[in-house]
Amino acid sequence: MVEKDDPWEIANIPGPRRGEILTPVIAARMIKEAERPLFIVGSLALETELNGKSLVEYAIEIAKESKMPMVAVAHTLKAFLEKGFEPDASMPLINIIDRLRDADWEGLKGAGQHDLVVFLGMLYYIGSQGLSTLKHFAPWLRTITLCRFFHPNADMSFPNMSEEEWANYLDELVAKLRMG
């Protein structure tokens, strides 16, 4: 069976530097301690439901409790608007990664380049490549992923797990963020 920290895609073994396993407690602490975190939500959010709750709803909860600015990538914007939530930006994943690797970019709110990026709901292989870009070309950033598949290119990643475990992880993360 797949190990917790095996790359989800079997052959996705990038090299000597790889991420560590992330827990909800650590994720919540990293988000709270970051000065300019950024939350990026991808297209799988549109197709994923956990215990009857869509990943879009989870993303909204995480954004609200953490107060992180959110970028809706691909065409996820519409789903958020339909739930009455306005992301801080809508742009292609490639565009936001391009800006995050630019040391001179002033960040989404013009307050300076970001220091932590949180990913959720990325198509695995495009997400992995985006993380690779940031790993190599954005040394000022830490990256974490909240999907249920381990990403070796992230600094820290939720482990490989079942959907049930994942729902528990996300619930716990929201609860920790809510505690402040």
Assess 63 for contact with another protein (CB under 8 A). no
| d(C-alpha 66, C-alpha 63), whole Å | 5
| d(C-alpha 74, C-alpha 90), whole Å | 8
Assess 81 for contact with another protein (CB under 8 A). yes
Question: DSSP character for 159?
Answer: P
At 88, list the tokens.
């801080």
Assess 73 for contact with another protein (CB under 8 A). yes
Assess 95 for contact with another protein (CB under 8 A). yes
User: Among 52-60, 112-120, 130-138, 168-176, which window interacts with another protein (CB under 8 A)?
Assistant: 130-138
| d(C-alpha 144, C-alpha 33), whole Å | 13
Q: Is 78 in contact with 128 (CB distance < 8 Å)?
A: no
Assess 103 for contact with another protein (CB under 8 A). no
Residues forming contacts to another protein in the complex (CB under 8 A) are 1-2, 8-11, 14-17, 42-43, 73-75, 77-78, 81-82, 89-90, 92-95, 97-99, 101-102, 123-126, 128-130, 132-133, 135-137, 139
